[in-house]
Amino acid sequence: MAGRLEGKVAIVTGGAQGQGAAIARAYVEEGAKVVIADVAKDEGQALADGLGDAAHFVHHDVSDAASWTALVEDTNARFGPVDVLANNAGILRFGDIERQSPEEVELVWRVNQLGVFLGMQAVSRTMRKNGGGSIINASSVEGLAGMPSCTAYAATKWAIRGMTKCAAMELGPKGIRVNSVHPGMIDTPMTRVHGGDAAMEFGASKVPLRRVGQPGDIAPVYVFLASDESSYVNGAEIAVDGGVTSTHAFGA
């Protein structure tokens, strides 16, 4: 039986580890050809090697427009016109408003927000010529609500949510669907670096399901949005957070 993504060509940014690696694996399992794009060369190449001929690794800086042009051209030449972009790459930096440096704020913006914009810009031309496609932008629960010491990061995730809505309206008539995914606390290298097991345990205590998410909890949503099953889903924001955003807080 053919997979749900049979015949599709996908790019997964930030695909070497964590959520991105889970998405790349799921795409290959469902029949897609996948280009794993990341700055982490060793991890990305090892993942691509393990996935076989259906996967290829490209060293890629999402904040560089020229890197995006080269990535899309390489994908089109290697596997055929790109149908799916999982705009997953991102970084997390905590910082108080009074202390976080402008340089760190700009770094978070360049990777998280500018990277998503450049990705949409780069693939939309190919998708338009090919009759359509699916762009999936990684936002966060911090793109739906706020958290202390997270202003720079949350700003980018709110921006991604807004850009997704605008792009869905602009690109929809061209057959290109654009949606955002909003994970809660997911057990990945990006989150573990900020507190390890203790952070995971604390996070689990705040989730209605009483556990933090795993990358495997996120990947099926990306499969659905990449597949033809979601052909009428456009401009949506999907929270995958164990119920964290289902309520409100009366102060910290």
Cα(240)–Cα(218) distance, integer angstroms: 7
Active site residue 222: no
Q: Which amino acid is at 7?
A: G
DSSP-H helix ranges across 80-149:
102-108, 115-129
Cα(13)–Cα(60) distance, integer angstroms: 8
Q: Give the distance, in angstroms, between the CA of residue 6 and the centroid of all CA atoms in the same chain.
A: 21
Cα(168)–Cα(159) distance, integer angstroms: 14
Q: Tell me the Ramachandran region of residue 147: left when phi exceeds 0, alpha when psi lies from -120 to 50, beta otherwise.
A: beta
Q: Which of 27, 153, 222, 232 is catalytic?
A: 153
Strand segments (E) across 21-174: 33-38, 55-59, 84-87, 133-138
Instruction: Catalogue the active-site residues.
Output: 153
